[in-house]
Structure 1
Amino acid sequence: MTTWIKGAPKVAFISGAGSGIGLQIAKALLSDGASLALFDLRVDDAVLESLRRGCCRQGQRVEVFTVDISQAASVDAAIDAAVGSFGAPDFAFNSAGILRTALFTELPAETFELVIRINLIGSRNFAAGILRYMKPGGHLALVASLAGIIGGYTQAAYGASKFGVVGLAEVLRLEQKPCGIDVSVICPGEISTPLLDHERQHGSKVTEALNATAGVLTVEQAVAGILQGLRKREFMITPGFKARFLRGMARKASGLMRWMTDKTLAGALADEQKRLRKLDQKSA
């Protein structure tokens, strides 16, 4: 296992820690000895108690701070309270986010704005709150997505928000380097989380076919890859070989990447039309 090149965090602040990636990162940091301040709209009591039982050193603590990540004043107040309880964080990880998909022409403005507020404005709010306190040697990580590098079918709102998170992280990396603070941005493909479960239930089969190119990782697989990059303080972290390969293509051979995506899209649309025709025939 890769060790933390600058030592394991002692105090970690994690948003979106009630489930998915945030929860698994919290568990890993807990086993490395970090005290945790968790930020979310809600963290189940059973989850909190399980985390507290995982404390492995004297004085290690886990506390929850209820917050709406899209509201700057609420985030500032929660981070103020956490710093008052734990002291300044030496590691902070923002994974709060939502996924809503539809063809752009069918996507309500309210849904588009909601995704932007939580994914992009929420990242801004968390980073701004954290950087008021983080000291030299600290490490800030923001969760974006492979959809923040490669455009995705039916993902106008999600892609716009995640492209924004990648851009924000690029700027913060530059601005915080003279302050001695490292910044990472996490750009995974699909991960088997509640977000993906919602997408599978309500989303497009065409989107599913396109995204399958990068593969689907379990939360455990994804977090193992993410932690490997975080421990080395890499800037852009993408777990999974397929997803990393596509990220590289999108950045170094964008024309070829678009050609491949167009071919996959054409096939997926044809398959979807066949599926719908069969359903129509059955219902006739």
Structure 2
Amino acid sequence: MSEQSRVPAASGALPGAQTPLPEPTAHIHHHTIRRNGLLLGVCTITPARTSRPPMIMTLGILARLDPFEVQRFRLLADLLERQIIALETPGWMRPGQRLPASARQALTHGDFTEMAELMVAALDEAVPGLTEQAVSLLGYSLGASTGSAIAATLAARGTTLERITLVEPVATGRQSLVGLGLRNTADGVRNRRYLKESKQVAWAARSTPVRMVRRGWVDLGLFTWALSRGGIEKSLNSIDTSVDVKIITGERSRMAGGRATEELVEQLRSTGRSVEWDTIADSHHGLWLSLPRVAEVGRLLS
């Protein structure tokens, strides 16, 4: 069995204290980049004080760079004293947009490389020179797959990677679509609990319904299929073993943290790579919807 550390469940207060979460002050700047006929969103979040290398963050499957999502990055930017660059997932959410045929074909094999190349191109244009310095990466859910592929892309061109953090990674091993769907449903019924925890934070932005654009279902379906192929191990194994990996899962998650994650951790450690695996107590896959639990993630990274 792989060793894990257990973090107490979120309480609605700043981890380790009884005070409410402080309202973030980090500055936000949105960029929209046109690449290969796609409009790609990039958001830079800069705290008043920075003491550590920048962190690239990638989103979950239905997330957008709207106030509800960006508030998490502002909170983490302040807690970690890092500039954060959040990258929109291309293809599914903008009217008239769809992934290139080659990227769609790659997804049928569980390969996020072409998506990663699109996202890195947008990153280079929005924040020139960023990847010439050391960076960290963090991805949640689907973002653990796109983030791992981005890390592999950056490593291949010589970017120094400080650490890769995977929060609730889904694609840790091959699984059936039926099983993936059942686990998603079982965890998803708890999401209201995590949304409620965020609503109790005085400054929190409220969630808004996701409206699927025409033809967006095709890309969304391909993302889901690609997640079922379990490609994270291949992406990480293409990166030098000197780069540390941290995995963070909910203690009660059915989407991540099971035997497939144990096997991924064991395989990565067998190559000599340093891998930490932390669990957040009494939490499911939707922990990212809770601002107090995102603060717990920040504590684990500080």
TM range (shorter): 0.3 to 0.5
TM-score (norm 1): 0.36
Specify which structure has the higher proportion of strand: 2
Kindly indicate whether structure 1 or structure 2 has the higher relative contact order, using CA contacts under 8 Å at least 6 residues apart: 2
> TM-score scaled by structure 2?
0.34
